[in-house]
Amino acid sequence: MSTAAFIVISVLTLAGALAAASLPKLIHAALCLVVAFVGIAAFFFLLGAEFVGLVQVFVYVGAVAVLIVFTILLTRRADETTGGFNWVGVVISGAVFAGLLWAILQTPSLSVAVPQIEALTVKRIGEALMTDYIWPLQCVGLLLTAALIGGLILVMEEKR
Amino acid sequence: MSDSFDQIFVRAKQWLLALLPDAPDWVIQVASSLLNIAAVLGTFMMLFALISVLERKILARIQNRYGPNRVGPFGLLQPLADGIKLLIKEDVVPLRADKIIHFIAPIMIAATAILALGVIPYGRNMTPFSIDGGILFFFAVGSATELGVFMAGWGSNNKFSMLGAMRAIAQMVSYELPLIITVLPVIMIVGSLSADAIVAAQEGYVVAGIVPRWFVFTPWGAAAFILFFVSGLVESNRTPFDVPEGESEIVAGHMTEYSGFKYATFFLAEYFGMFAISGLAVTLFLGGWHSPVGILQFIPSYIWFFAKLSILLFVFIWIRGTLPRMRVDHVMGFAWKFMLPMAFTCIIAAAVWHYQRHGLAGWFWSLAVVAIVYLGLSRLVDTKKKFAPRTYRFAE
């Protein structure tokens, strides 16, 4: 059951990612990227990490993808001709993939048996965030507030 | 006796699943999910048909006319006629449209609306998709609706569609913030993201067993409920926030280039989104499937849920019949200047209530917090515009 699900999800995710990298129209590529994001969220669900999967959908589909399509919407129109096949990009991405694969195969964790941990509930994540990781959380909050204020200042009308 | 009525649908599902005793585990799982999906879809398709005719009837009553009354008794078979009409209508796709995106957009919007219905507890033991992060799931799939709207606007290759989609996304993104932040106090008090736990936390009665322990009866809960409901109106693009499809300005917004059954799918998605938001409001603030009075607990839980849902849906229709459309910049200003600060206030008020051990003192302190911020904020965002008395020239 889970093997079949794994194969279906990985085929979908890979197809989405490949289409996002190769489709000529930018808007199609952005929407295919959403498929890849949802596929990754499905992987998290398969692994039993419900919360991470939901946040993946929430942040990447709900925010990042909307941001990307909004950017496309506001910047370009009609002229959607892209250059030819980008061989440099293929070489770079191939090198990155090979490097990651090599690093993953070098790590010992693949040969170690799966540790027995209790189910990860939202409550435990909340407790960890509010006790052990309170300072990183506050820093992220500060950063996001700064970004929000920065965005406001950029669009504010200048008074003369 | 009352218990058997309450659990009649749960029993029916168990009985149906018992029909395949020797099946492997995964077949049972798939069958169980399919039964849940069929039940949710069937129920809400019926409710959609009913509400579409009831909305026209109620609007007609408000506008002092008859409304549909030709098809069937009281016009009740009107949705059937409408459905057949929309099915056999020609499906027009603009020549320069992006065909694939134009085709997927209505499916995407309807799918997200249906998915959101899955995590709501409709009765005792009647949650179709019960997961630990149910509320988060609701908002996660809800945020994908924006993509569907964008696809509809972009795929149509029409300036009205594009303008409508931009308006829709802008207001949905803005009102998602107050919508989610008003849910936070409930999650803080309950300490769980699961819809079942939130309903369970609202069980029982206080003040000599008269007032149910629903969150709407606390000051922060009442404020959060109103804010949540208004944000829900915006998220489902209903009047007075239907600027994305303001027909007097931009035809029908992102739905301009859709006809026939695709248009009907948008219509269905709008109503399903309305059901989902109202259902979540019932779950979070109105005690879910709990009965409002102790002695009426013998009435099955799902009847209470759908009664509360119907009341909220009626308010949706009532508002549509009463209020004019807001201007687009006013909608956005309202979100950022009023809704968002009030939503944050609800969190603080809930914290005050919680640390006064949910007692009477906490109730009043929490009321004070909400009232002070509300009055201060009203002063602050008041534009001091004076309106001249309206004169009627012809309608005297």
Residue A41 maps to which CATH number?
Answer: 1.20.120.1200
* pLDDT at residue number A142: 94
Output the six-digit token pair for A29. Answer: 């590529």
- Cβ within 8 Å, pair A62-B101: no
| Residues of chain A contacting residue B132, judged by C-beta atoms under 8 Å apart | 50-51, 121-122
Q: Residue A8 forms beta bridges with which residues?
A: none
| Residues of chain B contacting residue A148, judged by C-beta atoms under 8 Å apart | none
Residues with pLDDT less than 70, chain A: 1, 76-85, 109-120, 158-160
If one counts every other C-beta atom within 10 angstroms of the C-beta of residue A121, the result is 16
Looking at the structure of chain A, the number of domains it has is 2
Residues with pLDDT less than 70, chain B: 1-3, 208, 395-396
Q: Residue B212 forms beta bridges with which residues?
A: B205
Q: Which of B186, B167, B187, B185 is CA-nearest to residue B175? A: B167
Q: Is B175 on the interface with A (CB under 8 A)?
A: no
Q: Residue A110 falls within a domain, yes or no? A: no
Q: Residue B70 falls within a domain, yes or no? A: no
A39: domain range? 1-77
- Cβ within 8 Å, pair B132-A55: no
Q: How far is A1 from chain B (nearest CA, A)?
A: 7
Q: Residue A22 falls within a domain, yes or no? A: yes
Residues A62 and A5 in one domain: yes
Q: Residue A97 falls within a domain, yes or no? A: no
CA distance B130 to B200: 14
- Contacts for B269-272: CB closer than 8 Å, 24+ residues apart: B269/B106, B269/B109, B269/B110, B269/B112, B269/B113, B269/B148, B270/B113, B270/B236, B270/B237, B270/B238, B271/B48, B271/B51, B271/B52, B272/B44, B272/B48, B272/B110, B272/B113, B272/B114, B272/B116, B272/B117
List the single best residue of A69, A74, A120 to mutate versus B (max B Cβ within 10 A): A69
Cβ–Cβ under 8 Å, residues B135 and B182: no
* pLDDT at residue number B1: 46
- Cβ within 8 Å, pair A66-B166: no
**How many residues are present in chain B?**
396
Output the six-digit token pair for A19. Answer: 């289409």
Looking at the structure of chain B, the number of domains it has is 1
Q: Residue A6 falls within a domain, yes or no? A: yes
- Cβ within 8 Å, pair A31-B147: yes
Q: Is B84 on the interface with A (CB under 8 A)?
A: no
Burial label for B168, CB within 10 Å (0-12, 13-18, 19+), is: buried
| Residues of chain A contacting residue B193, judged by C-beta atoms under 8 Å apart | 122
Q: Which of B41, B191, B32, B151 is CA-nearest to residue A65? A: B151
* pLDDT at residue number A109: 66
Q: Residue B259 falls within a domain, yes or no? A: yes
Q: What is the percent of chain B where pLDDT is above 90?
A: 7
pLDDT tens, residue by residue, A97-138: 999 999 888 877 666 666 666 666 777 788 888 888 999 999
Cβ–Cβ under 8 Å, residues B288 and B202: yes
Three-state secondary structure call for residue B269: helix
Residues A72 and A129 in one domain: no
B262: domain range? 87-380
Q: Residue B301 falls within a domain, yes or no? A: yes
- Cβ within 8 Å, pair A63-B136: no
CA distance B131 to B127: 9
Q: Is A97 on the interface with B (CB under 8 A)?
A: no
- Cβ within 8 Å, pair B143-A123: no
Q: What secondary structure does DSSP assign to B125-165, as a single string? A: T--SS--TTHHHHHHHHHHTHHHHHHHHHHHHT-HHHHHHH
- Cβ within 8 Å, pair A58-B140: yes
Residues 115-134 on B with a CB inside 8 Å of A are: 131-133
pLDDT tens, residue by residue, B210-239: 788 888 888 888 999 999 999 988 888 877
Q: What secondary structure does DSSP assign to B219-267, as a single string? A: HHHHHHHHHHHHHHHHHTT-TTS-GGG-HHHHTTGGGTT--HHHHHHHH
Three-state secondary structure call for residue B292: coil
Output the six-digit token pair for A103. Answer: 């690093």
Q: Is A31 on the interface with B (CB under 8 A)?
A: yes
- Cβ within 8 Å, pair A51-B131: no
Print burial letters for A50-74: b (CB count within 10 Å at least 16), e (below 16). bbbbbbbbbebbbeebbebbbebbe
Output the CA–CA distances (angstroms, integers) from residue B260 to B77, B84, B127, in the order listed.
19, 10, 34
**ipTM of this complex prediction, to 2 decimal places:** 0.75
Q: Residue B205 forms beta bridges with which residues?
A: B212
From the list B132, B154, B193, which residue is nearest A27 (CB)? B154
If one counts every other C-beta atom within 10 angstroms of the C-beta of residue A147, the result is 10
